[in-house]
Amino acid sequence: MTILIDPPFWPAYDRLWSHLVSDASYEELHEFARRTGLPEHLFDGDHYDVPQERYEAVVSAGAQEVSGSDLIRRLIGSGLRIRASDR
């Protein structure tokens, strides 16, 4: 069971964003988000959007840094990926 985060790369709302996922369960993901103080409204179906200014704190709390392509590959492999058309 691993919490994964990709680098802040995705622009929105005048900042860059990362994606935070679990490769095991949504329960693990939500628990990690609560521990790190990420608000529930940042949850987007199968991941949390993490603002750039919170990236280092989330990594320091134990999220594993991976590339964006590795993150999506592992999310799909876990069976937790939600397709955009299913949202």
Report, as an integer, the average pLDDT of 2-8.
96
- Of residues 71 and 84, more confidence is placed in 71
Q: What angle do CA 15, 18, 21 make, to 5 degrees?
A: 155
Q: Note the pLDDT tens digit of each residue in 16-49.
A: 999 999 999 999 999 999 999 999 999 998 999 9
Rounded distance between C-alpha atoms, residue 34 and residue 18, angstroms: 17
pTM of the model: 0.90
Domain ranges of the chain: 3-86
Distances (CA, A) of 11 to 7, 52, 82: 12, 10, 21
Q: What percent of the chain has pLDDT over 90?
A: 83
pLDDT for 42: 96
pLDDT for 84: 63
Rounded distance between C-alpha atoms, residue 38 and residue 69, angstroms: 23
Distances (CA, A) of 37 to 55, 61, 77, 80: 12, 11, 27, 22
